[in-house]
Amino acid sequence: MSRHTTFRYCLDPTVEQSDMLSRHAGAARFAFNQSLDFVKTALAQRKTSPAHPVPWTRFDLIKTFNTWKKTEAAGRVFTVDAAGIAEVQVTGLAWRGQVSQQVFEEAAVDCGRALAAFSDSRTGKHAGKPVGFPRFKAKAKTVPAFRIRNKPAKTGRASTRVGDQGCARSVTLPGFGAIRVREDTRRLRRMLTKGRARILYVTVAYRVRRWWISLTVEASDLHTSHHHRPRNHGDDGGWVGIDRGLTAFAVAANADGTEVARINTAPKPLAAGLDRQRRLAKSVSRKQRGSHNHQQAVAQLARHHHRVANIRRHFAHQVANQLVKTHDRLVVEDLHVAGMLGNRRLARAISDVGWADFARLLVYKQAWHGGAVTVADRWFPSSKRCSTCGSLNQRLALTDRVFVCGCGFRADRDHNAAVNLALWPTIEQDFSRSPDPQAGGRVTNVRRREGADRTPVGIGETVLVDAGTEVHATLVA
């Protein structure tokens, strides 16, 4: 079994290497825009000629761009002699030899992926928000970046190497040579030397006035000593529920009610650096656009946001590693974080803790260690359900930090939710997500129009929905 992971380093290039990196990033943006222009031109011609082909897939775009870059449509360079006679010196892109050809191909691949996402969104195959038609990349609004595959040479030597030529903190790229990096590369070098990893491709991007390189690696599975012990067949226990919150970042508990972990102190870097962020944002607004001072102010604000994101990401990795290494079965709830951000009073606090990113880390880290992660249903009332008797406390408000049940059970709200999540694998079959099967969803008091699958009712009439539940419907003119 293999796994995919990424190593990211901050580059320390020379002046010549920095110019070459910028040239490659510009070539990638140019190739993407040109590939998109091929598609738009073909779609316009298809209106008058339905049989006109449209290069839609990434292979078609690569082939079209490679053919176009050598033709006169891509450009011509003339030389004029003393007699005034002009002669074509170069046909096609005159600067195509100054950058790696893989940059053009990978940019065409990105354009093909964008078009595929647009098609899948139109046909309903793409989950999530609708995806629009790709747009041209503007130089001022696009992050300079490019991607290069790690293609072995004819001698079998990899084109992308780490720690080559006696310099441990360096990455060698084709056409660039050895570029120094700021971080230690010992861990990746050991994996490459022992044959436990293989670099697939590298992505270079320019952020916060620094060049960053990300090496996507196909690594072998973790050592068996880092794996959880396999459970016996038929063992359905050992689940640990993790409740995420704002008062306590994460509370983990077993199904028997034992609390195994509680992380109270989240760094909350956004709230801690909000005053500095406001000063930097005000400094940006006071500078004239396009000036050197404005660029410096924007860079300072970007570095602040970069630091905030790094602190939040580092804390999430620490907590995820702690939980994954100590428990082989975890249960998390399916939180609708995007919908929660609609609450203007809690949106900043929810964004500051990074719930969604934390859950993503738990899933893939647990898979590396041979464990399991189960996601509880979004409508499962983990906070309102009594972990002892199973009854629901519908009056529980967000301000109530202690859960109290009529059976006499009393516990911390987050602890009770964590225990209920640990019980989710055993009560999943008994939980009905849709109390109203005919409506296909939960019963709400939202007013709706007369229409499909419902018989119009009169003013003040009562409609029986479920087991004696009554809903008074009122027609609105």
Residues belonging to the active site: 243, 333, 414
SS3 content of the chain, % helix, strand, coil (to 5): 35, 20, 40
Rounded to a whole number of angstroms, the distance between the first and last alpha carbons of the chain is 63
> Which single residue is written with the structure tokens 């939710």?
417
Asked if 39 contacts 54 with a C-beta cutoff of 8 angstroms, the reply is: yes
Asked if 241 contacts 428 with a C-beta cutoff of 8 angstroms, the reply is: no
CA 353, 356, 357, 362 torsion: positive or negative? positive
Cα–Cα distance measured from residue 176 to residue 170, given in angstroms and rounded to the nearest whole number: 12
Looking at the DSSP bridge assignments, the partners of residue 253 are: 241, 259
Three-state secondary structure call for residue 303: helix
Cα–Cα distance measured from residue 101 to residue 452, given in angstroms and rounded to the nearest whole number: 57
CA angle 267, 273, 278 (to 5 degrees): 155
- Three state DSSP letters for 19-69: HHHHHHHHHHHHHHHHHHHHHHHHHHHHHHCCCCCCCCCHHHHHHHHHHHC
Rg (the chain; Cα; Å): 29
